[in-house]
Amino acid sequence: MTAWFSLAGRVALVTGASRGLGLAMATALAEAGASVVLNARDPVRLEQSAAALRAAGHQVEIAPFNVTDSDAAATAVAEVVRRHGRLDILVNNAGTNWVKPLAEFATADFERVVATNLTSLFVLAREASKPMVAQAHGRIINIGSVIGQLARPTIPGYVSTKHAVNGLTKALARGFGKDNIRVN
């Protein structure tokens, strides 16, 4: 099969990449030739996913950290740049949900969803944009959800954060367009 495009020489960081959609996106980036850094909290599961990609001939590393830890996120981005000399693509995929009727939804649970689904995207985009601005090139991909537009009961944290991801993405796209950084 002929590749539609090549990401050879590009470096990508994908959060929430030990399984599911994150791993599928990381796999697609690797298949297109990117060097991919997988992130998730569980280093064992993360290494298993990375090993499978390496076995398929892809260049993959892991960066286990909790995306809600701003210092760890900043350190991880800096380490990717130190090791590779660049960061071209950030896929903000990590997310969480909490399901309860609003009357039973604790403030701490809402804040945990906001920290994972929204604040971490802001922090990682801020940190990733620094090397991207310096190299005058980059791509930031924030994963939202149709639920952010349609809504559903019992998941107010998820609905509101995924709706906010759309606004954050638009603001970042407007702010970074002049720097040749696309945000989608």
Residues marked active site are found at 158
Output the CA–CA distances (angstroms, integers) from residue 170 to 13, 51, 65, 129, 152, in the order listed: 21, 35, 27, 15, 23
Cα 158 → chain centroid: 16
Q: Where are the beta strands (DSSP E) in the chain?
A: 11-14, 35-38, 60-62, 89-92, 138-142, 181-183
Tell me the sheet residues that pair with 38: 14, 62
> Which residue do the tokens 């960061």 mark?
87
